[in-house]
A and B are shown apart, each in its own frame.
Chain A
């Protein structure tokens, strides 16, 4: 790492109306290295990368690659320069097959044909090359699989294969492990290391600091749009990195407190839907935080979707506060006092074109209505209360939520469900893709909810989170509950063992 950097971003600044996103930021990438770019949501990581890859135009500063100044004005120009990004949101055409997506825009032609657009496609070669990449990544699907039939984790592998096939010099990975099950994460790391050895540098953006320590050599920290520090991974500690990210030390990651656990508020008996929810039964008590552990595809999300009425149930009984209820639609669930914070906040939790107030009141408008009129003053008061209580960072409550960062968007979704004041609150991956500071805040809030007597169900793919927050953990595998652990019995290996029970 004493070499010259391949990439130098110097004194980069960028502003949007009302917001300074980046201010004099420096960022370098050296040859053959894996470097982490970390920071809270809103720190500027995405903006920096978007400037690098031509999505945004910088206001000032320089970008140099191999010593030459560059000005990528579009993603295609960036690709040509050897810069690729694998985003959190995929750029795949769901109706097409894997190999078609991998070679989208660069389709191979059959030998002997000419023309720019009207040539014969060399499908065999594209398939073969795609298969090679998929094997390298340890994928369990082939080049002919249709993307929309693949799970999120698998689709991500397609994105990675696409980037690999572009022969990049620098690959930026934006939260690549957010949706990958543990076994695939290991495979990904191996691929990343191999890429590094072959001369490709990787920029790793992640909120999972444990991963930073496992795979990266250098850590660059951004805070509030500025450089906050840079460390060799070997010399860094988790606390040091968090302190740089947040500007203060965090006392506790998982502030679990002792809460009195009351009577049973929710009883589920033999809930069944298709193959992913099979005879699921459990109880939930007031004040309890019940965790659902399992691999991606184990049926946890499907279970709560069936419970909440999003998908129709094949069979099963649900009792709320002792009384049988028929939660056949989200509307019924909400009016019965059940709330669900969904997995995908942008697609399922928010109306991005509406502002904070409108999103917060979305589930409780009927309560805010008198004689057919919405009480806007009450609505605003509630929104302001939650912005305050949840520390939602927004210039005003009339800000459209599409302009908020991921963590703040998630807080708006939480506020919406808090306004409902449910007896049971289900949270599906609530802290996915959220920075350390906001994460701790959301954890503290979960403890609040429990303390106020709510029964809380937490689905998470992060075992440390589950073990830190929950009173009890249920493990699911292929649609059935395969294990139950109370807090005193929590053990990472034992829980994982239950999670792979039905998997060959």
Chain B
């Protein structure tokens, strides 16, 4: 009887820890908002290696990328999670847009094809997330339907959301616009490129993981 209780409590403790270690945190947002830049900063800070390439050409990330067991230590607490970096979600893909960045026609067409598949993959992964960081470009108008659709889908699935306003180093950046557009969500402004406000981001990430 005593050993059964002991085994039962050990299993509960194990499952609790297992759950925390298996948390999947997704990085979602429109293209070129800086999802991979932020994911790279986290991975470099805590695992020593980056997760993916970044570029000024939109849709650089065209496959879902993972980093298993990212362990972050902050103010005496530890958070272990699987980081899932997703391709940017858009409602249109025009290969001609890539030509403006110097890509050849064949490369641009290939990139466009891969980008469409990446968007489908991103959406299909939504159901698997335990929590999501929505990365928005703080210098862009936040009232885009893609942003509303992403956040609406997370809410409908009861997935906790943290909104990150990236690129606060830019002159045009305006966090108050994001705050006005999405007043019901936690928001933190950062510059993934410069590491600006990254400690505040980690603080918010711990709060997000707690809700998962």
A and B associate in one complex? no
Q: Could you list which residues of chain A lie within 8 angstroms of chain B, going by C-beta atoms?
A: none
